[in-house]
Amino acid sequence: MMKNNKKTKAQEEQKNIEQIKIFDTTLRDGEQSPGCSMNLEEKLRMAEVLQALNVDIIEAGFAIASNGDFESVKKISTILDGPIICSLSRASHKDIDRSAEALRYAKRKRIHTFISTSALHMKYKLQLEPKDVLDLVIDSVSYARNKVDDVEWSPEDGSRTEHDFLCRCIEEAIKAGASTVNIPDTVGYAIPDEFHDLISMIKNRVPNIDKATISVHCHNDLGLAVANSLSAVQAGARQIECTINGIGERAGNASLEEIVMAIKTRKDLFPFSTNIKTEIITRSSRLLSAVTGFSVQPNKAIVGANAFAHESGIHQDGMLKHSSTYEIMTPESVGLNKSTLVMGKHSGRHAFKCKLEELGYHVLENELNDAFQRFKDLCDKKKEVFDEDIIALVDDGISDTGEYIKFVSLSLQCGSKGPAKASLVLNVMGNDKEVNISGDGPVDAIFKGISTLVTGDYDLQLFAVKAVTEGTDAQAEVTVRLVENGKTVNGQAADTDTMVAAARAYVVALNKLITKREKTSLYANMMSK
């Protein structure tokens, strides 16, 4: 009885804790940064992970920016049924129409419209007078509000906007129907105390501010995006815009994992909660790195390879005596299950499926068969199979790209004596083709071999290798980025042999490129008819 009462009290307390909404813009502001572009399939995979992470809002794209952006907002709206799906629009009817159209099938939808309000941006970028900008704020928000119930408005370069004008614009945006007002530090110029005061000033001076949620959107040019966002929460902001791994324009956006774990770890200073399932953080971070080829630095907070590693003797001694001596959060709380060696060559299909579900994957039957086969192959090569190995194996395998080219075999001769030689067999459109070629090192030989067997106008832009787990038998995860006529594709593959992973990743990228070519010519044919 006592126990029950206690639980009810705890639940009651939990209910009274204010929520901070997490607005994820990895697929919009993040994807906008050089080298981070994703294709439709990659965006869908990321969107599914963001749903598993339980973010409140996903900014899925800028619908008018390109057909690709429109399609991804539309597809994400159709497939996901948890978070609010949002599309960005400038202060124009055309943009808002396009967002509304892309969001048509979303269960819960939001239009985010913005316009610059700083004197600098109005004069040089927009070449508009403040009164015209104010008219556009009212017009765009009212227009968007006629299309959807949930409208967010942002004054771009808000942190450098003159205060009277900023307050006026916010007041009018709320009157016109915005239920969220987002204050961006567009150029990452603010300092935490100053940004705190800006949010307090808005709370004190905008008469109808109680009718909207205050959101913040901070860039990281001075390395202060997370600090500024957290300061804003202490001043009254209740939504934070952020990205996985902090990717975004220039130095990036505020990093989701840092914000969420700061709120969770420092309850004494942040008596708030978020809906984020923090155990999915590592998986989200790794998927984004794999998909974009953008690895995080080893010492990156929360998701860096060293974030939970204790090297010095004094620290290790303290850890052994009591982990809280040097660990302010557990690795398990962010989904790092280092200690669990779970699966091995005796594990069956059912156990493998349960493991995938535990890791947050709900795969289709054919994907399961394929992943299980690759898991078995991996067990033959690797003594210990960790959760991270399984994640890499599944993430690399889920793809709706056509398999025009298949990797068949590779043997190599390399070392310090003479050029490296590769003997490579690929199956190209159903026919096995072989090449024997030498190169300046094994990677060069393999890549030369592949481009001899599959000719085209593509260039290699990135080759990145990452060890999935520790030990000399760890799987290597390789990302290869190819560019052809301005179109970029990333291929990933994991294998215990780094060179085999490199060849497979190149083949994955080529298949994506060919899929893209097919779609482009199909589209061109459709247009010419």
Q: Which residue lies nearer to Zn ion by CB, 219 or 382?
A: 219
Residues facing residue 80 across a β-bridge: none
Q: Which residue lies nearer to ligand KIV by CB, 93 or 267?
A: 93
SS3 labels along 188-250? CCCCHHHHHHHHHHHHHHCCCHHHCEEEEEEECCCCCHHHHHHHHHHHCCCEEEEEHHHCCCC
The reply on whether position 29 binds Zn ion by CB under 5 A is yes
Q: Can you tell me which of 98, 217, 283, 512 binds ligand KIV, judged by CB under 6 A?
A: 217
Closest approach, Cβ 112 to ligand KIV, in A, equals: 7
The token pair at 330 is 């557990």
The reply on whether position 185 binds Zn ion by CB under 5 A is no
Q: What CA–CA distances, in Å, run from 484 to 115, 466, 509?
A: 34, 25, 11
Contact track, ligand KIV, 92-111, x by CB under 6 A: --------------------
Query: What is the C-alpha separation between 282 and 253, in angstroms, rounded?
Result: 18
The reply on whether position 252 binds ligand KIV by CB under 6 A is no
The reply on whether position 389 binds ligand KIV by CB under 6 A is no
Asked whether 98 and 143 are in contact (CB, 8 A), the reply is: no
The reply on whether position 495 binds ligand KIV by CB under 6 A is no
Query: What is the C-alpha separation between 334 and 346, in angstroms, rounded?
Result: 28
Query: What is the C-alpha separation between 126 and 115, in angstroms, rounded?
Result: 9
Q: Which residue lies nearer to Zn ion by CB, 29 or 152?
A: 29
Q: Can you tell me which of 114, 143, 294, 361 binds ligand KIV, judged by CB under 6 A?
A: 114
The reply on whether position 172 binds Zn ion by CB under 5 A is no
Query: What is the C-alpha separation between 431 and 421, in angstroms, rounded?
Result: 23
Q: Can you tell me which of 23, 24, 26, 29 binds ligand KIV, judged by CB under 6 A?
A: 29
Closest CA to 130 of 93, 89, 163, 174: 163
Query: What is the C-alpha separation between 275 and 90, in angstroms, rounded?
Result: 29
Instruction: For residue 297, give the DSSP letter.
Output: P
Contact track, ligand KIV, 130-169, x by CB under 6 A: ------------------------x-x-------------
Contact track, ligand KIV, 258-297, x by CB under 6 A: ----------------------------------------
Classify residue 223 as left (phi > 0), alpha (psi -120 to 50) or beta.
left
Q: How many residues does the chain have?
A: 529
Query: What is the C-alpha separation between 182 and 154, in angstroms, rounded?
Result: 5
Residue 33: which of ligand KIV, Zn ion, none does it interact with, CB under 5 to 8 A by kind? none
The reply on whether position 186 binds ligand KIV by CB under 6 A is yes
Q: Which residue lies nearer to Zn ion by CB, 160 or 466?
A: 160
The reply on whether position 121 binds ligand KIV by CB under 6 A is no
DSSP-assigned letters across all residues of 377-439: HHHHH-S-EEHHHHHHHHHHH---S--SEEEEEEEEE-SSSS-EEEEEEEEETTEEEEEEEEE
Other Cβ atoms closer than 10 A to 348 = 10
Closest approach, Cβ 490 to ligand KIV, in A, equals: 24
Closest approach, Cβ 400 to Zn ion, in A, equals: 30
Closest approach, Cβ 481 to ligand KIV, in A, equals: 25
Residue 114: which of ligand KIV, Zn ion, none does it interact with, CB under 5 to 8 A by kind? ligand KIV
The reply on whether position 388 binds ligand KIV by CB under 6 A is no
The reply on whether position 23 binds ligand KIV by CB under 6 A is no
Burial class (CB in 10 A: 0-12, 13-18, 19+), 239: buried
Site size with ligand KIV, rule: CB under 6 A: 8
List residues near Zn ion by CB under 5 A: 29
List residues near ligand KIV by CB under 6 A: 29, 114, 154, 156, 184, 186, 217, 219
